[in-house]
Amino acid sequence: MSASSKVTVAQIGVGYWGPNLLRNLVSNGDCTVKTVADLSEERRAFVQGLYPGVETIDDYRAVLADADIDAVIIATPPHTHFEIAMAALEAGKHILVEKPMANTVEEVEKIGELASEKGLVAMVGDTFLYNAAVRYLKSYIDSGEAGEVRYIFSQRVNLGRIRQDVDALWNLAPHDISIIQYLLGNPEPVSVSRHGMDYIQKGVDDLVFMHIQYPEKVVAHIHVSWLDPQKIRRMTVVGTKKMVIYDDIAENKIAIFDKGIEPRAVLGENMDFDRPDFVVFDYRRGDVLLPKINFTEPLRVEIEHFLDCIMNGTPCLTDVNHAKGVVRILSSA
């Protein structure tokens, strides 16, 4: 495909998140949306009302049989991702799959192997990695300004939306895991544990605490729940030099705190410093920096990146390897 060509795309599934994907696809000048497939007549009518030029069908297999379609967006329930993704790749289509890419590491690996064999792009929709605030935080950590990362604490809680097909961990935590992996450079965890509870539906945890131990004494703790009185989307990164709060629903999404605790050198009787038997600490309380973030809708950036990967061979940020790391942590729990 030449860089000047438009990518012809189809979308499978237009439920809760699907309309946002479709809106960004339709508004992108590098692609043409030919077809939307959804089992629901109501959802197909919804698409027709907004985009009368887009064909709507009830059987996604017709999309795969259409030789004009170059790429497929898969926004169906998670348990269907693997089957549809593999079928689309077999049909020679590039794929963008909503998170998680699949339910097991083995399934993600099979998607990666087939995509590599066919020379196709396989990308997962971890939208927060296309968020300007998250990218600023990544750049700040990589610059060394925060020092060495000690720990990360993340909260993603609200009242509802209750799911039946997945629990709160698989619904909400993929966002936080993908961000943490991205910030830390995709390390392999030493251990993963979870503690959850099912209050509303038996066997479906409404509340989960996940703990991830990384090498070099770096830890991450994730709290997810759809049974909480407040909507919170906040991540705290504590470094040896600075501390940073990323709050996705705040006006100032990044706040950098010049705070810390450090041992103070203590003078001994023989004019020697750092006496091992007596420790004093310095509490550093400096300024708070609220950097300006030039914000663009992350989903728009994600779609642009997907098309760029197809048209120009740009390495994919949220590729199979990234998807596999996230699913491995979820599965380990």
For the domain that residue 80 is a member of, what is the CATH number? Answer: 3.40.50.720
Residues 218 and 155 in one domain: yes
Task: Flag whether 83 is in a domain.
Answer: yes
Task: Flag whether 329 is in a domain.
Answer: no
The answer to whether the beta carbons of residues 247 and 233 sit under 8 Å apart is: yes
Please state, in angstroms and rounded to a whole number, the distance separating the CA atoms of residues 105 and 96: 17
Residues 240 and 279 in one domain: yes
Query: ω into residue 285 within 30 of 0, thus cis?
Result: no
Residues 191 and 241 in one domain: yes
Q: Which amino acid would we find at residue 241?
A: K
Residues 69 and 142 in one domain: no
C-alpha triplet 142, 147, 148: angle, nearest 5°: 85
Please state, in angstroms and rounded to a whole number, the distance separating the CA atoms of residues 111 and 90: 10
Q: Give residue 220's domain range.
A: 132-247+254-289
**What residues of the chain score a pLDDT lower than 70?**
1-4, 265-278
Predicted local distance difference test score (pLDDT) of residue 271: 58
Q: Which amino acid would we find at residue 182?
A: Y
The answer to whether the beta carbons of residues 94 and 71 sit under 8 Å apart is: yes
Please state, in angstroms and rounded to a whole number, the distance separating the CA atoms of residues 72 and 69: 8
What's the number of CA atoms in the CB half-sphere (13 Å) around residue 209?
A: 3
Residues 161 and 219 in one domain: yes
Residues 117 and 159 in one domain: no
Residues 164 and 62 in one domain: no
Residues 197 and 276 in one domain: yes
Task: Flag whether 330 is in a domain.
Answer: no
Predicted local distance difference test score (pLDDT) of residue 3: 43
Task: Flag whether 159 is in a domain.
Answer: yes
Predicted local distance difference test score (pLDDT) of residue 18: 94
What's 231's domain CATH number? 3.30.360.10
Domains identified in the chain, total number: 2
Residues 208 and 279 in one domain: yes
The pLDDT tens digits of the residues spanning 76-119 come to 999 999 999 999 999 999 999 999 999 999 999 999 999 999 99
Task: Flag whether 324 is in a domain.
Answer: no
Task: Flag whether 236 is in a domain.
Answer: yes
Residues 136 and 276 in one domain: yes
Task: Flag whether 1 is in a domain.
Answer: no
Task: Flag whether 326 is in a domain.
Answer: no
Residues 13 and 144 in one domain: no
Residues 196 and 243 in one domain: yes
